[in-house]
Amino acid sequence: MIDARGVLAFLAAVEAERCLNPHSLLVKRHGETVLEAYWAPYTPDDRPLLYSVSKTFTATAMGFALAEGRLALGDRVVDHLAGSVPTDVSERAAEQTVHHVLSMSTGHDTDTLDSLTARGDADFAASYLAIAPQQPVGSRHVYNNGASWLAGELVRRVTGESLLAYLRPRLFAPLGIAPTWDVDSSGRELGFSGVHATTRELA
């Protein structure tokens, strides 16, 4: 049982903090909504950008693909990226597996996203593989939006579907939700960001 007094005290504390800009709050317990609040001008119909929560949807798509045997955690990513592997791909870049990409243990010192966008190449997969990891693959974790983009691209390559199309019958339809996803200039969902959903859909 949730103590309503504690919840109300929490809401009062949030509203008293001038540095905070709350949009919405929804709390579920045992599948039932016990609190739903919105701060003006935000409403239940808003579909805000979920930023890196989008990575959870990308990882879920990858989970389905793994469960369906479309690829395996130990697979080298280069083996699923035909046509995008640079002729001079580094040994470390070629060593990266699906597991390394999902766990952001690719051996890069920094997030690869800025390098990907700076290259201006429409083939992000080729651009990603051209960035040689500075450290041994699997030796460390570094937050890496480029790796999350690549995870989404791997799902697209092995399923032949967009992330939205692939997830719709497996996740969205069963949950009764209909998120949207921002895409790049080639029409590919971003993977590392871009999902828009209502607070209720996210819950």
Q: What is the distance between the alpha carbons of residues 18 and 105, in angstroms, rounded to a whole number? A: 38
Phi–psi pair at 106, nearest 5 degrees: -80, -10
Which residue type, as a one-letter code, is found at position 12?
A
Contact yes or no for 100/138 (Cβ under 8 A)? yes
Contact yes or no for 55/150 (Cβ under 8 A)? no
Cβ neighbours, 10 Å, residue 23? 13
| pLDDT value, residue 194 | 98
User: How do residues 58-109 score in pLDDT, each as one tens digit?
Assistant: 999 999 999 999 999 999 999 999 999 999 999 999 999 999 999 999 999 9
Q: What is the distance between the alpha carbons of residues 78 and 94, in angstroms, rounded to a whole number? A: 6
Helices (H), 39-112: 54-67, 91-95, 98-102
Tokens read off for 127? 């651009």
Closest of 131, 133, 157, 137 to residue 61, by C-alpha: 157
| pLDDT value, residue 1 | 78
Q: What is the distance between the alpha carbons of residues 19 and 34, in angstroms, rounded to a whole number? A: 26
Question: What does pTM read for this prediction?
Answer: 0.92
Kindly give the parts of the chain with pLDDT less than 50.
none
Which residue type, as a one-letter code, is found at position 186?
S
Contact yes or no for 143/104 (Cβ under 8 A)? yes
